[in-house]
Structure 1
Amino acid sequence: TAIANTRSTVDGDWEGVQSVAVLMDGTVKAYDVTLTTADPASATLTSTDPHYWTNRKDITVTAWWPYTAGETTPSAVKVKANQSARKDFEGSDLIVADGQTVTYGSPTLRFTHRTARVTIVLTDYTEGLASVRLTGLSTEGGNPAEITPYDKGSNTYTALVAPQSVVAGTAFITCTFTNGKTFVYKMKNATDWQ
């Protein structure tokens, strides 16, 4: 049994995560995820066919979600172009506990996101808003150049993007209105989305 903790899925808990892959000594096994009721940001991982320590020495473990049977390593970061539906926003997430040293008697893994979360809060001129898009994105690894974000309500939009550097002056938010107007927000300063 291993314990997983930290912000894990898009809402910072393990809700909806049923299994993760655990790689140890060259073998990948699926582990079931059981939420910790006192702290939904933590979970317990169990398996009907678990990895076993052959001695009490520290081991190196890699684990990830989402997991597809047959995978031998975490998949590359590839987000969806249309994240307007919550399932597609959540389906763009990738978390990994990469090459972590685990101690016998204290098998804890710390998962981190491989995607960057971008949140847009529109504060002015939202009447007649037809669409919001993230634009000018890196297409490295087959990622989309544009993303339609998830509408959280209250003029707040969010999307998961592949890690990338964004240079100052990049037009990265485009808002289109029902009156035909288009507003573009350009990045003021260079930034790294990790």
Structure 2
Amino acid sequence: MRTMRISNLWWAVLPFCLFACNKDEQQEGTDGTPVSFVTTISPSSRLTVNNSWAGLSDAKVGVEINGTVKEYTVNEKGELTSAAPFYWEDLGQTVSVNAWYPYNEGKKPEAVVVAADQSVAANYLASDLLEVNNASVSASENTLTFVHRTACVECALQLNPTEEGTMNAATITLCNLSGVSEGNSVKTTGDYKALVAPQTLIAGTVFMEVTMSDGRSDEYVLPEDVELKQGYIFPVSVEVTPDGLNVAFGTPIKWEGETVGTDGEAPEVGPDTDGDKWEQNGDDIQTDGETTEQHPENGNSSQWEGETSEVNAEKRS
């Protein structure tokens, strides 16, 4: 019995001994490949004026693998790297990855909340919440496609030919919204765009207020329910007339991203001081060089789920 207990203890300690050796080798750059990513994001938002991540004041992104979250940094090319990354144990393995922006101290916000005054550029930027859900990633196929958690309302404001005045300094405010940091209205950007939490507004609700430079203000009441879906752009035509506002909703447009090839290479990053490494039990999942597709859940275009691979991960010190 005594011999068996000692033997069991030895097998429990052995993995830690082996890992300590690997950790030293990783720091010398001779063992362990850091997990890094190339990202794509859907165009038409503040992040993607040039379909890139350029110009961010806060470039931190949360990345989660098997329940552990690490802070990664995105550059203007969309490359995600970390000073303390995850490591591949097997370059042929596939893992399931969740990610989000902004980093939010390592916690993905459960609810979508946007800024009230998006005429301030920084507030508009902070309102564009992005996420990746259950993306299947390998060392050679490491693209993460972020989708928008918000809906985007884009208004085109114009004066009726019979209306006197100018649109200079005219403002549009969207009213009676949920998911706003302060109050229940959102002031749009200078070109009349606003990011809002997904929601349904019922008929009879005051949805919009237009204020002209001369102080005139008009409201628009919804004649029917409007559903603002996650990941969609809602074009709205707004005409100021002597009798009030003529408003017409266009066909919602799905935000679509472009795939960027990685050529099987991952950007270099520094070693992890924690020595975190990831191992997988079971058969590897072959991707055949294609990015894992995501499909709507139960036909709801605002909910996405991807294929999840099982990962047996242990955090060792």
Q: How does the TM-score come out when normalised to structure 1?
A: 0.81
Equivalent runs, 1:43-62 vs 2, <5 Å: 43-55=78-90, 56-62=92-98
CA distance in 1, matches of 2:186, 2:109: 23
- Offset of 1:51 from its aligned partner? 0.9
Query: Which residue number corresponds to residue 132 of structure 1?
Result: 172
Query: SS of the counterpart of 1:89?
Result: helix
Structure in which a larger fraction of residues adopt strand? 1
Q: Detail structure 1 runs of 4+ shifted over 4 Å in the superposition.
A: none
CA distance in 2, matches of 1:114, 1:180: 35
CA distance in 2, matches of 1:143, 1:162: 13
CA distance in 2, matches of 1:2, 1:178: 47
Identity, in percent, stands at 33
- Offset of 1:106 from its aligned partner? 0.6
RMSD: 2.4
Query: Which residue number corresponds to residue 67 of structure 2?
Result: 26
Per chain length, whose mean CA-contact separation is higher, i.e. which structure has more relative contact order (CA < 8 Å, sep 6+)? Answer: 2
Question: Which amino acid in 1 is paired with 2:130?
Answer: I
- Offset of 1:49 from its aligned partner? 1.5
Residue range with higher mean Cα deviation, 93-102 or 165-174:
165-174
- Conservation of the 8 A alpha-carbon contact between 2:132 and 2:145: yes
- The reply to whether residue 181 of structure 1 matches residue 221 of structure 2 is no
Q: Decide whether aligned partners of structure 1 residues 4 and 171 sit closer, same or farther in structure 2, where only a CA change above 3 A counts.
A: same
Q: Decide whether aligned partners of structure 1 residues 11 and 73 sit closer, same or farther in structure 2, where only a CA change above 3 A counts.
A: closer
- Offset of 1:75 from its aligned partner? 5.1
- Offset of 1:20 from its aligned partner? 1.0
- Offset of 1:133 from its aligned partner? 1.1
CA distance in 2, matches of 1:143, 1:114: 19
CA distance in 1, matches of 2:199, 2:148: 14
Query: Which residue number corresponds to residue 15 of structure 1?
Result: 54
- The reply to whether residue 66 of structure 1 matches residue 107 of structure 2 is no
- Conservation of the 8 A alpha-carbon contact between 1:134 and 1:173: yes
Structure in which a larger fraction of residues adopt helix? 2
- Give per-residue Cα distances to partners, 1:71-99, cap 9 Å, x unaligned: 23345311111111111111111101122
Larger Rg: 2
Matched length: 182
